[in-house]
Amino acid sequence: MSTLIDGKALSLSLKEQMRDRIVELEAKYGRKPCLAVIIVGDNPASRSYVRGKIKAAEFTGMDSRLVELPEDVSQDGLLDVIAGLNAEAAVDGILVQLPLPKHIDEDKVIDSIAIEKDVDGFHPQNVANLWLGRKCIVPCTPKGIITMIESTGVDIQGKKAVVIGRSNIVGKPVAKLLLDRNATVTIAHSRTKDLAKVAAEADILVAAVGRPKMVTADMVKPGAVVIDVGINRISVPGPDGEPVNKLVGDVDFDAASQVAGYITPVPGGVGPMTITMLMENTIECFLNRQ
Ligand code: NDP
């Protein structure tokens, strides 16, 4: 039986430390860090993520601002809002909740955020700095994953790490962060041959795919650290037989937890840590701007 990496508990303790830090920062600099979150439209999942981010900001005591724009806002309209926040001295971090409606070019939006306020770390300059090994804002989910792995006390150096998924927001940056910590990293994806064999060699296995329970117990090396990034909504029979929605990860938790050394749950794993790292990044942007 594996040890649970409790993202919720770890997040809470980090946010409590940040609360004290923000009191100190306000005393020293005369203002608190401020995060601005922009949401376009009414996507329920996006609304729920944004609520979580604002709630976390309130918990830490930092200032926050929610900018809600209608689904049919024009691209120029959104870019104007971002330009306004870029220019505002009191705003330290700007996050545009993705995905955006089809008529808006996400790349243009990401490129328009002032680099020093890019709390998500998605700006091309930030991405370049990450890959060049220069100082940068590290994207929140990968940063949270590394923090969780490090919380186990397992030394990443020299370990075989397999990352399943090669997205710009999770797979690629987490692979780079593991490489920076001297793991030997394999990035697997939809064209990888014999994924089960590749995964089963991993001392550290990160699943960032978006396919419910695709990582089965036979894909997990005994004692491995397993990080489940996936957030999948599936329908299961409820107590009265009616279908109810359930959140599951990319890992078959019940089976994999019999084999892994450490494993993250879904929910309560990478999700809360992503939000907590956003708070850390906001503080970092604030400090960089002082
Ligand atoms: P993307 O859809 O951008 O990327 C998915 C990756 O999985 C792709 O690289 C794809 O390969 C790969 N893939 C798809 N099918 C297979 C397969 N059968 N075998 C191996 N690899 C496969 O997803 P994201 O990275 O944005 O997100 C991944 C998951 O993580 C989602 O469930 C998302 O909701 C969740 N997520 C959770 C966050 C959190 O805070 N907890 C934050 C961000 C995401 P290819 O490139 O070849 O197509």
| Total residue length of the chain | 290
Q: Is the peptide bond before 142 cis (omega within 30 degrees of 0)?
A: no
In a domain, 126, yes or no: no
Q: Are 280 and 143 in contact (CB under 8 A)?
A: yes
Q: Is the CB of 198 under 6 A from ligand 1?
A: no
* Helices 140-151 and 7-29, axial angle in degrees (round to 10): 110
Number of domains in the chain: 2
79/185 same-domain check: no
Q: What is the CATH number of the domain that holds 226?
A: 3.40.50.720
For residue 91, give every residue at least 6 positions away whose Cβ sits within 8 Å of its Cβ, in sequence order, or none. Answer: 34, 35, 36, 65, 85, 117
The residue whose CA has the least distance to atom 48 of ligand 1 is: 190
Residue 13 in any domain: the answer is no
Regarding whether 191 and 257 lie in a shared domain, the answer is: yes
What is the value of pTM for the model shown?
Answer: 0.97
At residue 17, the pLDDT reads: 98
| Mean pLDDT in order along the chain per 10 residues (290 residues) | 96 98 98 98 95 98 98 98 98 98 98 98 98 98 98 98 98 98 98 98 98 98 98 93 94 98 98 98 97
3-state SS, residue 66: strand
- Which of 189, 206, 219 to probe ligand 1 with, by most ligand atoms within 8 A of CB? 189
Q: In this structure, what CATH number is given to the domain that contains residue 96? A: 3.40.50.10860
289: left (phi over 0), alpha (psi -120 to 50) or beta: alpha
- Ligand 1 atom with minimal separation from the 166 CA: 9
In a domain, 198, yes or no: yes
* Domain span holding position 227: 140-271
Where residue 101 falls (left for φ over 0; alpha for ψ -120 to 50; beta otherwise) is beta
Whether residues 155 and 65 share a domain: the answer is: no
The encoded tokens of residue 278 equal: 């956003």
Contact 278, 272 (CB under 8 A): no
Q: What is the pLDDT of residue 1?
A: 85
Task: Evaluate whether residue 179 is within a structural domain.
Answer: yes
Residue at 22 is within a domain: no
DSSP tally for the chain: helices H, then strands E = 10, 11
Same domain, 38 and 76: yes
Q: Which atom of ligand 1 is nearest to the CA of 189?
A: 21
Shared-domain flag, residues 38 and 152: no
Asked if residue 10 is part of any domain, the answer here is: no
Same domain, 194 and 72: no
Q: In this structure, are 182 and 63 located in the same domain?
A: no
On whether both 192 and 241 belong to a single domain, the answer is yes
Q: What is the pLDDT of residue 288?
A: 97
